[in-house]
Amino acid sequence: MSIETKKPSKNEILFVWLNRYAGIAIKTPSKMLVIDPVDVKPRDLKNVDALLITHEHYDHLDQSLVAEIHKLTQCKIVADSTSARRLRNVIPSEELHEVQPNSEVKFEKVLIKAEKCNHPAATPVSFVITSEDGVKVFHTADSLPFPEMATIGEREKLDVVFCTVGIAPGTSPETGVEIARLTKPKVAVPYHTGSAADLKKFDELLKKEMPKTTCLIPEVGKIYQVSKKRK
């Protein structure tokens, strides 16, 4: 079953991991958001409301795929400055929202905040997404841990945090767990790796360091549901 035809209940979101990188589709009760789609068929993403791009690396930004999804769906595009510049020729300017750390975009009741991202790209951002019923997701892109993550975690009371555990320079299951330690989510999701061993290692380390935090090891293409943290 596709995430597009499923609807989350109140105070819940659904998500799917789309590839071995940071590609994630998030469904709130009213909106479908897709982050960093690469290696996907545009036809599988027919009802996208907004497409978010964190940085310009090939495993995050595929200009022609973004253009194709936009053509099929007329979705809004939210992108870091460098990716936005690369998309200028294919996306109409009124539908292209350029973001920097600390800027935000609102789609009706769904809020997207761009935050810092500690990754060697030109102008990378990470995203805090707040659904219409206040479910909070932190998509950290390819980021290594950085001290301000603690402030973000404290301010947002995060439900789900996506933690990079590989491929990007310097990242590992250990740096992924450090992100969870700083942000203190209800559910920590390791991603950005093709290695099942690294996903498992993240789970083992997290159990030791943060026994109360749920680890959700994702499988590409599977739909997961997360509900709001009690605040």
Q: How far is the CB of 6 from Zn ion (least distance, A)?
A: 27
Beta-bridge partners for 111: 106, 130
CB of 140 to Zn ion, least distance (A): 11
Q: Give every strand in the sheet of 24-27, ordered side by side.
A: 96-99, 76-80, 50-53, 32-35, 24-27, 12-17, 223-227
Least distance between Zn ion and beta carbon 21 (Å): 5
- Residue 22 C-beta: closest distance to Zn ion, Å: 6
Say if residues 79 and 99 touch (Cβ distance below 8 Å). Answer: yes
Sites of contact with Zn ion (CB under 5 A): 21, 59, 142
- The residue (of 59 and 159) whose beta carbon lies closer to Zn ion is 59
Q: Residue 29 or residue 124: which is nearer to Zn ion going by CB?
A: 124
Question: What stretch of H or E contains 198?
Answer: helix 196-209
Residue among 178, 131, 177, 153 at smallest CA distance from 30: 131
Both structure tokens of 120 = 């060697």
The CA distance from 215 to 224, in Å, is 12
Least distance CB 17 / Zn ion (angstroms)? 13
Select 56 or 142, whichever has its Cβ closest to Zn ion: 142
Q: How far apart are CA 86 and CA 206, in angstroms?
A: 38
> For residues 49 and 142, which CB has a smaller minimum distance to Zn ion in the complex?
142
Q: Please name the residues in contact with 163: beta carbons below 8 A apart, sequence gap of 6 or more.
A: 140, 176, 177, 179, 180, 188, 189, 190, 191, 202
Residue 133, both tokens: 């019923």
Q: How far is the CB of 153 from Zn ion (least distance, A)?
A: 22
Of residues 26 and 110, the one with the C-beta less far from Zn ion: 26
| Nearest to Zn ion of 40, 150 (CB atom) | 40
